[in-house]
Amino acid sequence: MRISTPQMYQGGLSAMQRAQSNFNKTSLQMSTGRSYLTPSDDPNGAAQTIQLDTNIKKTEQYQRNNDLAKPRLEQEEAQIVATQNVLQRVRELVVAGNNDTYIKQNRTIIASEIRKLREDIIGIANLKDANDEYLFAGARSHTEPFVTGTDGKVSYVGAIGAGSVREVSITNAQNVAIGDTGSAVFMEIPERSGLLNEAVPKSTNTGTLYVNSTSVTNLDDALNSSEQTLRIRFSYPPTNPGPVEYDVLDLDGNSVRNSSGDLISGIYGNTDAAGVFVAPTPSTQSIELAGRMVTITGEPADGDELISRPVSQVTIFQTLDDIATAFEDSLTGTISSEALSRASSIALRNIDSGLGRLDEVRTTVGLRISTLEMQTGLNDERVLDLSTTLSDVRDLDYADAISRFKLQEAVLEAAQQTYVKVNKLSLFDFL
């Protein structure tokens, strides 16, 4: 077989280039620490690397969500504890202030301190976290959740309803709420005394009847009817002039009797000869029913109704305001000692209800914090496992690479030396 000089040169050059390519590839692998340099080197390994890297980044994002939620929940828990401490102090003051041996000056001090503690709770409810967001505003975290009106009543203006609390994902299948609305914590407190009631005009009324106030007149009757909703219906006379009468019905339309067995009814004003309503004198009148008193004013239309019903929920702020007012009124003789005792009983029961609600919220917050702590450990383990697997797939085995590098270096040097020697071969050297 005839071998030409160009073939010898080309063969040597190709061998040297292959050795150089293998040597360079191993050198690049050692410098990058990767077992492959392009996806084509190891398609399966490249696909696994992308999937593993994606899962690691997802897990790290879940952990960042965890790290965001936990401090906020811990701060919320601390503020709930602070509120509980304030309410415990109010409870002590109510018990002490209901003592008949207390002098007026002491009750003045108690009322003032209760109002100060009420302001402290408002401050807690409007507290911000480290990100300058209100803790108890729900999703409306940049809006101050509690505002005090000109009448002194506290209103909640934060988020309510579905989606009112922000949630973060801590796994692909689990979300955790990072707070609670102020409405759930401070406003929606179950009324436990059974002695608070309200009266509201029926939505279909056409007259101008107003409710000035409601109160309890008979403790036993009020307790016996504490779960009843009653209707006060106003009726015009069939012929004019005549009295405008009212009667009390239950929700089924049955007439209601008092403890003596008599039907509860009465007269509220009358009509003149033209059928025009003439207000009673005085214009403000009180209607007693089932131990309750409803004070009204205004002009009812024929068939208008008032709905007297128990209060199902109270706010912490209203409870504190009511008992402070009761202590203040007792100083001026506006209310009797019996009424003060009843107000104290209502306050104590609803303070206990508020403490119970705070305990419930604190428990849920604690469970969420516990979940986050447990998930942190799971996230650390998952990232470690994924990183180990990723390293096995992607990272270079340096012991094998160094051995291969040395071998390829020797092969390259041999190819280079062979090429140099072949280049020196010539027939002229033998002539």
| CA dist 313 → 157, 246, 419 (Å) | 17, 28, 97
pLDDT at 390: 67
Per-residue pLDDT of the chain (431 residues; tens, 9 = 90+): 455 556 656 665 666 667 666 666 666 656 666 655 566 666 776 677 778 878 889 988 999 999 989 999 999 999 999 999 999 999 999 998 887 776 677 888 999 999 999 999 999 999 999 889 999 999 999 999 999 999 889 999 999 888 889 999 998 888 999 999 999 999 999 988 877 888 899 989 999 999 998 888 887 788 788 788 999 999 999 999 999 999 999 999 999 888 888 899 999 999 999 999 999 989 899 999 888 899 999 999 999 999 998 888 899 999 999 999 988 888 777 777 888 888 898 899 999 999 999 999 999 999 999 999 999 899 888 888 887 776 666 666 556 666 666 676 666 666 666 666 666 655 555 55
Provide the 10 A C-beta neighbour count for residue 330.
24
d(CA 362, CA 352): 15
pLDDT at 148: 93
Among the residues of 126-207, which ranges form H helices?
Answer: 182
Burial of 346 (0-12, 13-18, 19+ CB in 10 A): buried
Domains annotated on the chain, with CATH:
56-192+317-380 (1.20.1330.10), 197-310 (no CATH)
d(CA 322, CA 344): 9
Q: Which residues make Cβ contacts (< 8 Å) with residue 421, sequence separation at least 6? A: none
Structure tokens at 333: 């003789």
pLDDT at 415: 63
d(CA 120, CA 137): 17
pLDDT at 406: 67
pLDDT at 116: 96
pLDDT at 271: 93
The answer to whether the beta carbons of residues 395 and 35 sit under 8 Å apart is yes
Structure tokens at 98: 């209901």
The answer to whether the beta carbons of residues 311 and 270 sit under 8 Å apart is no
Pairing of strands 146-148, 154-156: antiparallel
Beta pairing partners, 174: 171
pLDDT at 23: 61
d(CA 35, CA 39): 11
